Structure 1
Amino acid sequence: MLDDVTDPAAEIGRWRLRSRAHTLLTPQFLHREHEVRKRSLREIAKSFDLPERLVVQRAKDLGIKVQPAGTRPHPFDDAWLREQYVVQLRSLGDISHETGACTETVTRRLVKLGIARRPAGSRSRREMLVELDKSVHHDIRAAVEDTLHGWVRLRRFQINMAFPTVSATADYLNMEHGALSMQFSQMERAIGGELFRRSTGHTPQQPTSRGVSLLQQLAKKQARELMHHALGCDMTSMPDREAVSAAQTAFGADSRTLTDLCECDQPPPRISVPLSLLPLARQLLSHPGQEVYTTQLHTTTGLPLNTIYKQLRRLEASGWLLSRREGAAERAHRGGRGRIYYTLTATARSIPLHALPGPLEANDTQVERER
């Protein structure tokens, strides 16, 4: 009995379908969808999971003119369709969305007009088919033509050259460093030359002569207009002076060399500590006479244990720390391997905490602005 309720071949199943169609397919709904919006009865039947014949019969019962399949007028002009698809290189999906017609309707009309279909997939996208005017610089054309994201990469290259490292650019763009580096490599392969030299040690990244030429071409009015037209509201703004200054200061701080105290009886007048070592150095100088071990430092600083191990070895090698292994008597009450305790050397203990450089050393102008 329960199977008959859902079986359209059974009397009760047919009655349920008719009742559902009567409830859903009101005169107002069918007039709006079929006569005004030009949706076919087949589409309406499919959207409600109803038999098409039942929807057709319901429309006839309500006195709504049923248009035979294939005779419903298409909601666009043939000349407009040719312009949009052939000249403007718009996709079937774009045209379908604007006109309200399904993609099958648009496709059938293109066939009737004798317009050849473009290949399916990304190769038919407008960005892949566009050809720039020959007056545009050849490097810009090489970066843009036959690719989906050429203008995006060119804009990111402009932004990248304002920063000292690709990592700083990735942070500004809120994207992964590896993904951004890969995009720049792809653009360099398309252009056929290196555009900038990556940062190494104390040296920030710098554009090559090819990169300088490309930046100059991108600054010209023609290229700016083309980029604005291609990216529109998705065009990322260039970083302001504060963002660039902060990145440059951070790069300088992270590329400092650690002051060597091995041969010093007194600390030198100026102390240099890399940015990555500052949290640990501050913690140690805040408690100059205390012996510490790695787990303690992990708890107080939040740094990963592997990082702390490396930094402690580096500080010890530069004469900042002395180390000793815990004796058997000291660990008798808890067992396990003996801890390694670290303490500042006499020279390091005499370094005042304020002598450490700040994480971002600001110039006088920046300090005044913060005040």
Structure 2
Amino acid sequence: MLRGSAETEAKLRFQQASGPIMAKGVEDTAFYTYQRFIACNEVGGDPDRFGVSVDSFHAYNAHKQLEWPVAMLATSTHDTKRSEDVRARLAVLSEMPDAWTRAVQRWSEMSQTYRKPSVDRSIEYHIYQNLVGAWPIDAERLQRYLEKAMREAKVFSSWTRVDEAYESAVQDFGKGLLTDQRFTADLSAFVDSINRAGEENALAQKLLALTSPGVPDIYQGTETYDYSLTDPDNRRPVDHAAHAALLDEAAKADRKTILNRWNSGLPKLWLVVQALRTRQEFPECFDDRATYEPLPSHGERLITFVRGSKASKKRVLVIATRLRRSGVTDTVVALPEGEWRDALGQRAKVQGTVKLDGLCAGLPVALLTSS
């Protein structure tokens, strides 16, 4: 054990330096060089951790409610490498490795004209993943992102030793891709094929963030779908007027309207409104004295839990689906005893055993309350 003023000073100095060293070495260097699946290369994440089991998710939430019930719960921040919605879309690729492999092979063949010898396969694969996650993205945004990615990686260029020839080759490669109509048409078609599943991931992720133990933080602009990359891309001005108009729509929208406006960002904003309203109406189910109770497992495709109160009979039941491409249509959910109200407005009352498809009615989530 360290003792005395000199030892204490050494310990404090080490602690002061260890955080920045880790951040610069891992988040701001390695995360730009390890390209296996960049959705995992996130602040607080681990590139080797491709997800957790439902049981592990529940165990962590129960522990957090016990130890850190009012800690911040953030899915996008000013410092994330990719926004929550970019990661949600990229997560779909993990369910379709064969189709993803074929797409990358096609794009690599299409791009040979623009790929100079100095454009290595690592940065090429990095670009394809980011294009899928952030599409549609214009040349200016991509150029600014690539400049940072190359310099943070510190393999061929860096902020202190800029290799202009290398950076120019990579930037030309990116510009070539975006001006190639054959490539962009193929990319757009591929993104269209996974976009619905990506948005369903985003909605499920958002509801979990708004109802799990902790204090949810909504980063600027992420009330609706936001496909931003790392700063400065995620610090662009938010169109508050457009968001305000969408919020007015969300206040009056019914389930049918939400489903008909799927790609507009309205479903996500509407879900945020409903979840925050539920927190406002049932505050004792989300404070530091609340309870967290996982419901019996329905396999790895469904996350279900109840937030409750030790001081009252009020309860909030949360259901979020995952791995949507694999299908969850035949799943049946046994609701806890009592009468439940659908906070998302599909049914006035629900109880007993219900089919998931009927309960969610076109959405990847359900939110029920009981008092």
Range class of TM-score, shorter chain? under 0.3
Which TM-score applies when normalising by structure 1?
0.24
Which of structures 1 and 2 has the bigger CA Rg? 1
Greater strand content: 2
Structure with more contact order per residue of length (Cα contacts < 8 Å, sep ≥ 6) = 2
Which TM-score applies when normalising by structure 2?
0.24
